[in-house]
């Protein structure tokens, strides 16, 4: 049966118990606020798959402007946020709740346990004084001097509401408040191609160069059943998240400038074996097939023209991108328009007492701990603004 709880001055509703909502809960409950965390699912479950189960919780970039450069959406907005809560604050926060961290060679920061389950457990313990409502919120509405939260079975009254519903759901709630949303689309995903690459599925190429719109990106590539994936593709899918399909990308898989002249033609060895120090055998075989040659052909049988064509193709392999895959880190490009939000407080410009943090905002970062950093930093600022109000 629906009920309305009694009014109390310092009650805060946090809608969404993901990383962003939970860090707000920690700071606000410490400051003596009465917190109710609403989530339709298991609390902090979205932390579990992060970093492949290891939880890449931050990136070792300590200059706030440099850190902000890793956000294709939100860079400037994040200056004031990161200047007040940056990477070192994240490390200190986790140390305080019993999670020691270390920095990997590539500057990604992980818990020493390498376990997202451990981070989740300690995090939840640190906010155990909060009330946990396992309920989906259907409506958030302003009332005189506060806010009403409506779930399927209950309605509640609060002084403040923090929306931390993430990128995958929650926009419906905000439409009723007439808050402008930048249309959501996926970022940090693999890309599908017009070309059938199923033969190459599972093949990895280290340190390839990828060209798109005259810009070059470098990194590892993984061919998948329907296209291409891997770190450099995730970066591109993020930077070009709103680019219209289809578009062309070209790949330089290897640099043959140091290869002895006529190397291939002079050898009886199979071409794919000769090129093995440069590119995976299966990739050479695939390209030979597209050139109408036997995949196991020996160098002496290849002929000078085909030899040159093969090398040219490996140095300038074109693919036509026609969509996004569903795997990857999958963060949302889009969300609450940053023009709606005060960057210093994370309060809505339209509504007093309504705050936003985490991925629900139109902020998303590259791979490497940047998306969680956004949650920790914006979560801290939203909580701090309520504390200082």
Ligand X SMILES: Cc1cc2nc3c(=O)[nH]c(=O)nc-3n(C[C@H](O)[C@H](O)[C@H](O)COP(=O)(O)OP(=O)(O)OC[C@H]3O[C@@H](n4cnc5c(N)ncnc54)[C@H](O)[C@@H]3O)c2cc1C
Residues belonging to the chain: 389
Q: Which of 29, 36, 56, 238 binds ligand X (CB under 6 A)?
A: 56
Task: Report how far residue 38's alpha carbon sits from residue 165's, in angstroms, rounded to the nearest whole number.
Answer: 10
Identify which range of 9-17, 76-84, 261-269, 298-306 contacts ligand X by CB under 6 A.
9-17
Q: Which of 82, 93, 370, 376 binds ligand X (CB under 6 A)?
A: 370
169 binds ligand X, rule: CB under 6 A: yes
CB of 367 to ligand X, least distance (A): 7
335 binds ligand X, rule: CB under 6 A: no
Helix (H, G, I), strand (E, B) or coil at 127: coil
358 binds ligand X, rule: CB under 6 A: yes
Q: Which of 17, 119, 222, 363 binds ligand X (CB under 6 A)?
A: 17
- Cβ atoms of 360 and 337 closer than 8 Å: no
Nearer to ligand X, 274 or 371 (CB): 371
- How many residues at the interface with ligand X, by CB under 6 A? 36
Task: Report how far residue 288's alpha carbon sits from residue 315's, in angstroms, rounded to the nearest whole number.
Answer: 14
Nearer to ligand X, 58 or 200 (CB): 58
321 binds ligand X, rule: CB under 6 A: no
* 218-247 binders of ligand X (CB under 6 A): none
48 binds ligand X, rule: CB under 6 A: no
18 binds ligand X, rule: CB under 6 A: yes
Nearer to ligand X, 111 or 299 (CB): 111
CB of 139 to ligand X, least distance (A): 9
Task: Report how far residue 68's alpha carbon sits from residue 370's, in angstroms, rounded to the nearest whole number.
Answer: 9
Which residue matches tokens 């002895």?
Answer: 260
209 binds ligand X, rule: CB under 6 A: no
- Cβ atoms of 246 and 321 closer than 8 Å: yes
Task: Report how far residue 220's alpha carbon sits from residue 275's, in angstroms, rounded to the nearest whole number.
Answer: 18
CA angle centred on 34, ends 32 and 36, rounded to 5°: 140
Nearer to ligand X, 147 or 370 (CB): 370
Task: Report how far residue 342's alpha carbon sits from residue 80's, in angstroms, rounded to the nearest whole number.
Answer: 11
Residue 268 buriedness (CB in 10 A; 0-12 / 13-18 / 19+)? exposed
264 binds ligand X, rule: CB under 6 A: no
Q: Which of 51, 74, 184, 335 binds ligand X (CB under 6 A)?
A: 51
Task: Report how far residue 46's alpha carbon sits from residue 120's, in angstroms, rounded to the nearest whole number.
Answer: 9
136 binds ligand X, rule: CB under 6 A: yes
For strand 108-111 and strand 34-38, is the pairing parallel, antiparallel, or unpaired?
Answer: unpaired
Identify which range of 3-11, 26-34, 48-56, 80-88 contacts ligand X by CB under 6 A.
48-56
41 binds ligand X, rule: CB under 6 A: yes
Which among 15, 86, 46 has a CA at the least distance from the CA of 376? Answer: 86
CB of 294 to ligand X, least distance (A): 41
Q: Which of 208, 271, 330, 366 binds ligand X (CB under 6 A)?
A: 330
82 binds ligand X, rule: CB under 6 A: no
170 binds ligand X, rule: CB under 6 A: yes
CB of 66 to ligand X, least distance (A): 16
Quick one: DSSP state of residue 5? P
Quick one: DSSP state of residue 270? B
35: left (phi over 0), alpha (psi -120 to 50) or beta: beta
Helix ranges restricted to H, 58-111: 64-68, 75-84, 87-96
Query: Six-digit token pair at 113?
Result: 């346990």
Residues near ligand X, by CB under 6 A: 15-21, 38-41, 46, 49-51, 56, 136-137, 164-166, 168-170, 173, 329-331, 358-360, 369-372, 375
């Amino acid at each position: 049966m629906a009920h309305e709880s009694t009014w109390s001055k310092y009650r805060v509703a946090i809608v969404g118990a993901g990383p962003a909502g939970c860090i707000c809960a920690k700071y606000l409950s410490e400051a003596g606020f009465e917190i109710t965390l609403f989530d339709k699912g298991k609390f902090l479950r979205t932390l579990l798959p992060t970093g492949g189960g290891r939880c890449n919780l931050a990136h070792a970039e300590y200059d706030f402007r440099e850190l902000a450069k890793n956000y294709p959406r939100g860079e400037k907005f994040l200056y004031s946020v990161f200047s007040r809560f940056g990477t070192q604050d994240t490390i200190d926060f986790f140390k305080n709740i019993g999670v020691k961290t270390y920095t990997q060679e590539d500057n990604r920061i992980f818990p020493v346990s390498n376990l997202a389950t451990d981070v989740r457990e300690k995090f939840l313990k640190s906010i155990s004084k909060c009330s946990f409502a396992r309920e989906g919120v259907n409506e958030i509405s302003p009332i005189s001097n506060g806010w009403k939260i409506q779930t399927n079975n209950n309605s509640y009254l609060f002084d403040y509401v923090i929306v931390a519903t993430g990128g995958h759901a929650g926009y419906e709630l905000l439409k009723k408040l007439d808050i402008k949303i930048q249309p959501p689309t996926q970022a940090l995903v693999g890309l599908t191609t017009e070309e059938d690459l199923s033969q190459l599925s599972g093949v990895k190429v280290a340190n390839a160069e990828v060209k798109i719109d005259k810009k070059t990106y470098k990194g590892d590539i993984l061919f998948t059943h329907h296209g291409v994936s891997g770190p450099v593709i995730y970066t591109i899918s993020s930077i070009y998240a709103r680019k219209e399909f289809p578009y062309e990308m070209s790949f330089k898989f290897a640099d043959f400038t140091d290869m002895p002249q006529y190397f291939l033609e002079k050898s009886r060895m199979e071409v794919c074996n000769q090129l093995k120090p440069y590119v995976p055998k299966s990739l050479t075989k695939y390209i030979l097939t597209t050139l109408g040659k036997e995949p196991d052909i020996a160098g002496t049988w290849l002929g000078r023209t085909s030899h040159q064509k093969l090398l040219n193709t490996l140095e300038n392999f074109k693919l036509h991108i026609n969509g996004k895959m569903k795997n990857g880190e999958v963060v949302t490009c889009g969300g609450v328009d940053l023009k709606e939000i005060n960057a210093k407080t994370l309060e809505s410009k339209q509504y007093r007492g309504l705050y936003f943090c985490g991925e629900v905002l139109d902020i998303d970062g590259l791979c490497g701990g940047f998306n969680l950093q956004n949650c920790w930093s914006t979560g801290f600022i939203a909580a701090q603004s309520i504390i200082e109000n």
